Amino acid sequence: MPEWTKETTAPVRIAILIFDQFSNLCLANCLEPLRAANTLNRARVFEWDILTQTGAPVLSSSAMQVVPHARLGGLSSCDYLFVLASYAHDVHDTPQTRRALRQATGKARVTVGMDAGPWLLASAGLLNGRRATVHWDLLDSFTERFLEVEAERVRVVRDGRVMTCAGAMSALDLTLDLIADHAGLATRLDVEALFMRGDPPVDSPQERGAVLDPLVRRALALMRENLERPLSLHDLSRRLSCQPRTLDRRYRSRLGAPPGTVYRHLRLASARKMLEGSTLSIAEIALRNGYESPAALSRAMKRYYGATPSGLRRM
């Protein structure tokens, strides 16, 4: 069953190995959502280091130079090892790279291949007997070369301790999945809203039991459209032509929380964004998010975020 919120006891450690000619869009689609998850939670839910094989800077496909934190050989242990290669992946497919990847993946709980990264993992024998994907431009040649890998034309594949994704936009899908895994669906919902993705902003691969339920999606859209004058569960159900108990059951099974909890989260998250990103008065923010007074908003925020509106605005 999905979890609406999750408590983290220690940061999730991610090592991101990049090669020359990597896609900086792919890298950004990993890092920015992770950064946003930390910001929204006001905690270091995720920590990451950028690595290269030698520790020297590399250039992206658009000639953006990235100076790594360390070299791959210095990796001790991590929760996730991301392997990001894009253009010129064949140049990087060397015996040295294959040896380095085999050693490095032994230090990670989960290995993630992104864009053309799965090609390098497959060449090192790390995808044998597994399902995987790769950038779709490479999929036919990947299938022909790596006969021990079950290649699939999908955006994201998770097979045990290995995850693969097909490119920059699917890297965003994968990262949002990780945010849901470690911080809960509430944080994922907030990150997707921040990046203005989806309508409503919940859209995971079906194989992970994510929210593809049309009823839940339509209800989320109605909630977002009615923050100032919140709808009751009865009114929501009436507009959706379903029974209240049906909506409640579907929310609990898909999001891990009842509709009221999700609705309150959306209203408070909206109020928090207004506090942090505008000069609106607390009274105006309260009204715009369905609270009858600043005191009511203050009580709700104190319970939910552990801080008053004034305190959140000062942070």
- Whole-number Cα distances in Å, 239 to 215, 221, 258: 11, 12, 18
Contact 83, 17 (CB under 8 A): yes
Give one DSSP letter per residue of 27-50, joined into a string.
Answer: HHHHHHHHHHHHHHHTS-SEEEEE
Question: Which pLDDT value is given to residue 265?
Answer: 93
Residue owning tokens 């049309």: 214
Question: Which pLDDT value is given to residue 207?
Answer: 32
Contact 110, 135 (CB under 8 A): no
Start-to-end CA span in the chain (Å): 34
Contact 211, 217 (CB under 8 A): yes
* Domains contained in the chain, CATH given: 12-181 (3.40.50.880), 213-315 (1.10.10.60)
Residue owning tokens 């790279």: 97
Question: Which pLDDT value is given to residue 5?
Answer: 86
Question: Which pLDDT value is given to residue 1?
Answer: 64
Question: Which pLDDT value is given to residue 212?
Answer: 62
pLDDT beneath 70: ranges in the chain? 1, 196-212, 315
* CA-wise closest residue to 108 among 88, 126, 89: 126
Contact 52, 92 (CB under 8 A): no
Distance CA 123, CA 1 (A): 36
Question: Which pLDDT value is given to residue 54?
Answer: 96
Distance CA 45, CA 50 (A): 17
